[in-house]
Chains A and B, each alone.
Chain A
């Protein structure tokens, strides 16, 4: 066994094998990683509502959704939403949350062996969170003004605006997780910077305006002094569709802007969100993981790729 296998370390764990439901030895998921019943209910309602709206005229200009053809003609993403709902319900029946977490549901803010952060670290974290809070109002004002400017030409709109900033608890949790697990050689300030969606805006466009809308929003953000340092195009990704970009204000605050179509946003926010949360959950077995990835691939395969969206190049500025 090589050095990197580190056999003498006591905490070496992978995902549980199929059928392993013993919670005692599993790392305990963070509270926010456990989808609550209300969240599941809202997701189902949103899924159903979207699917049942398939025959209603779309005021924003419904275009050709989906990519699949059958003998009866084109079927689109919206047509498939009820089937996604049923499939997810079936998944939850076969992999119930209670069985997954009953034994190890956390009882405190720091449920696993992640320690309570030191006072010094807490102070640093609080300071970093304070900077995020200070920057948010100005950024939000810019995002809303840009939405208005874009609306007349490309019809873009902000989705999920009320969730644009992560809660303080979630940021503290992220900082603790980052410092102990993901980025142990970083400071709290650096770790909080590593959370790209501490502040996030999501713009949506109908398919036929998506590419032009992307460039318009980008130009308008740049004209306000913000700099894009990263753009990643996921339209060719098998499990997730959209473009995620990262920006920095003139004062140095980073934030994220995502670009979606109604279908890609719906898929991400209402259909695959809980699957993604389970994929990120240490209690998920590898057998279930395979099914979750297959589910995400199936949903994504029905999302119509926007006009030339796949041609929007990735970008990464050196030094960021």
Chain B
């Protein structure tokens, strides 16, 4: 279990934290962080995106959001993709 979790919404163009492209999170552990992204089937999987963004290798912006806001984003995706999500090739 991680000590803390920080969520980031992926925004850009006309996308905002209420309508992001996606959601990623950084989990802090005793021996360092690990980063994950929410996928279309609602699973979390490793992502290099936060590291890439920190180094300017990702086009759009990551904006830190609260846990409450992250819950809302996931809820919005549930409404859009269905309660169990969608196959990853959809």
Contacts and interface: CB of A to CB of B under 8 A. Distances in A.
B45 A11 contact: yes
Contacts of B4: none
Contacts of A9: 42-44
A220 to B, nearest CB: 22
Most B CB atoms within 10 A — which of A10, A179, A182, A193?
A182
Interface in B1-54: 2, 5, 7, 10, 12-14, 20-22, 24-25, 27, 29, 31-34, 36-49, 51-52
A232 interface: yes
Given A2-B67, A9-B42, A116-B89, A14 B34 contact: yes
Nearest to B2: A14
Interface of B: 2, 5, 7, 10, 12-14, 20-22, 24-25, 27, 29, 31-34, 36-49, 51-52, 55-60, 67, 70-71, 74, 77, 80-81, 87-90
Nearest to B75: A3
Contact of B10 (A183, A280, A286): A183
A234 interface: yes
A286 B29 CA distance: 9
A280 B46 CA distance: 9
Given A13-B46, A185-B20, A320-B13, A195 B34 contact: no
A277 to B, nearest CB: 9
Interface string A7-38: 00111111101100000000100000000000
Contact of B21 (A6, A18, A186, A282): A186
B46 A282 contact: yes
Interface residues of A, number: 54
Nearest to A14: B34
Contacts of B32: 15, 286-287, 289-290
B45 to A, nearest CB: 6
A19 to B, nearest CB: 11
User: A-side binding surface: helix, strand, loop or mixed?
Assistant: loop
Contact of B46 (A27, A121, A254): A27
Contacts of A15: 32, 34, 46
A111 interface: no
A10 B70 contact: no
Contacts of B59: 193-196, 246, 254
Interface in A220-256: 232, 234, 237, 239-240, 244, 246, 254
B40 to A, nearest CB: 4
Contact of A194 (B2, B21, B42, B89): B21
A253 B35 CA distance: 30
A118 B34 contact: no
